[in-house]
């Protein structure tokens, strides 16, 4: 079947760029993470069962970035990075909701999105120290 010439002649070496946009590389969206930040979900995510398919057996997870780390060192280093701080900043504003869109469409009056201060989760090493202190007190 004659048709358009299929072989692409440009963008040879850019597979690493295309891979970023694959569906399987899709990360959690900010509003999904906002749901994760709710207490019961956060608790679950921070105390995951050992999963050998995940980096670090799923024991080191950054809630705000939805990322796994191989050990507490890597995670604590991540907490100090620009990507993490940028993410905290991006999560400061509450996500746009269905109610917001209804208000925008003329149902009710505009309520500006609330700002909140986000705290990086306590690094695991510190948590362990606190636990040990509690144990020694009892
Ligand atoms: Zn992070």
Q: What is the pLDDT of residues 6-49, one digit of tens each?
A: 777 777 788 888 888 888 888 888 888 888 888 888 888 888 89
CA gyration radius, the chain: 21
Pair 19, 25: CB distance under 8 Å: yes
**Residues, CB-to-ion distance under 5 Å, ligand 1:** 62, 64-65, 84
From the list 93, 77, 85, the residue with the least C-alpha distance to 120 is: 85
The pLDDT > 70 percentage for the chain reads 90
Rounded to the nearest whole angstrom, what is the distance from the C-alpha of residue 12 to the centroid of ligand 1?
33
> What is the structure's pLDDT at 37?
87
CA geometry: angle 124, 125, 126, nearest 5 deg:
90
Q: Is the pLDDT of residue 120 over 80?
A: no
Rounded to the nearest whole angstrom, what is the distance from the C-alpha of residue 21 to the centroid of ligand 1?
21
From the list 118, 119, 121, the residue with the least C-alpha distance to 61 is: 121
Rounded to the nearest whole angstrom, what is the distance from the C-alpha of residue 70 to the centroid of ligand 1?
13
3-state secondary structure of 122: coil
Rounded to the nearest whole angstrom, what is the distance from the C-alpha of residue 116 to the centroid of ligand 1?
17
- Which pTM value belongs to this model? 0.68
């Amino acid at each position: 079947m004659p048709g358009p010439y299929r072989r692409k002649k440009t963008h040879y070496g850019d597979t690493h760029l295309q891979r970023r946009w694959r569906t399987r590389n899709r990360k959690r969206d900010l509003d999904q993470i906002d749901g994760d930040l709710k207490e019961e979900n956060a608790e679950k995510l921070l105390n995951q069962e050992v999963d050998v398919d995940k980096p670090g057996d799923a024991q080191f997870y950054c809630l705000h970035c939805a990322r796994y780390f191989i050990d507490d060192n890597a995670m604590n280093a991540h907490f100090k990075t620009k990507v993490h701080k940028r993410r905290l900043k991006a999560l400061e504003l509450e996500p746009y909701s269905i109610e917001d869109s209804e208000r925008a469409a003329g149902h009710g009056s505009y309520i500006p999105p609330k700002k909140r201060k986000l705290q990086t989760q306590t690094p695991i090493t510190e948590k362990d120290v606190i636990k040990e202190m509690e144990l020694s007190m009892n």
